Amino acid sequence: EIVMTQSPATLSVSPGERATLSCRASQSVSSNLAWFQQKRGQAPRLLIYGASTRATDIPVRFSGSGSGTEFTLTISSLQSEDFAVYYCQYYNNWPPTWTFGQGTKVEIK
Amino acid sequence: QVQLVESGGGVVQPGGSLTLSCVASGFTFSGYGMHWVRQAPGKGLEWVAFIQYTGVSKYYADSVKGRFTISRDNSKNTLYLQMNSLRAEDTAVFYCAKDSDYGVKVADYWGQGTLVTVSS
């Protein structure tokens, strides 16, 4: 069973600053890695898939990188609407199963 | 636009049953695989089950295997999750999610969720 570990648990960042979130897989997941944003009381929103491809209508300030076991989500200049919880997700294409990390909360410093 | 609307949540006693529904609109429901994902209060996301677009292939998380059944009615654009032998640890918001158009098994649209509370 693959385990996804995110760090840090909480990240305090000032608006306009860069945020760097990490996700580590317990074994290689190739590039089968997605990132989601979830705001309080809302459903998750897909940001990145394939480790580095932005989903439709996602701003360019969101970027993903990595492959194998180490992945990073970077938000280049935090906007007020970006303060939320971020989850990484390993997806297996077949059988189609998902494993989520425990989340990183990005809060206002 | 794509819409997914879950319903059927509520309070149920331990050992009880509940069936959730997810009505889809804005896309060709019969052409997409669908997932259920849950989130316990204040916790992270947990994948629950998947059903292929035909309804033939189904997969479950170990935590619900043998207790939950995913199904769909393509004529009604509706996804279901039948939940039996419910436990306190099944308390969560349940989301339905649609396979994306990106050619990989990620979800590009999610419903707003329905809350299931298992309590005596």
Contact A49 B107 (CB under 8 A): no
Optimal mutation site among A37, A46, A54, A93, interface B, most CBs of chain B within 10 A: A46
Give the pLDDT confidence of A36-92 residue by residue, as tens digits.
999 999 999 999 999 999 999 999 999 999 999 999 999 999 999 999 999 999 999
Contact B110 A32 (CB under 8 A): no
Q: Which residue's entry shows tokens 């069936």?
A: B19
Adjacent-strand bridge partners of B99: B107
Residues of B in contact with A53 (CB under 8 A): 102
- Alpha-carbon distance of B53 to A92, in angstroms, equals 17
pLDDT tens per residue across all 120 residues of chain B: 999 999 999 999 999 999 999 999 999 999 999 999 999 999 999 999 999 999 999 999 999 999 999 999 999 999 999 999 999 999 999 999 999 988 888 999 999 999 999 999
Residue A82 main-chain phi, psi, to 5 deg: -90, -10
Contact A99 B35 (CB under 8 A): no
List C-alpha distances in Å: B92 to B55, B63, B86, B112, B113. 25, 13, 11, 13, 9
Q: Pick the residue from chain B with its C-alpha nearest to A91.
A: B105
Contact B37 A56 (CB under 8 A): no
Overall average pLDDT of the A14-20 stretch? 95
Residues of A in contact with B57 (CB under 8 A): 95
Nearest one of A84, A87, A21, A102 to A49, comparing CA atoms: A87
- Alpha-carbon distance of A24 to A42, in angstroms, equals 25
Q: Which residue has the higher pLDDT, A95 or A42?
A: A42
Query: Min CA distance, A106 vs chain B (Å)?
Result: 15
β-strands B107-110, B92-99 pairing: antiparallel
The alpha-helical segments, DSSP class H, found in A1-108 are: none
Give the pLDDT confidence of B34-46 residue by residue, as tens digits.
999 999 999 999 9
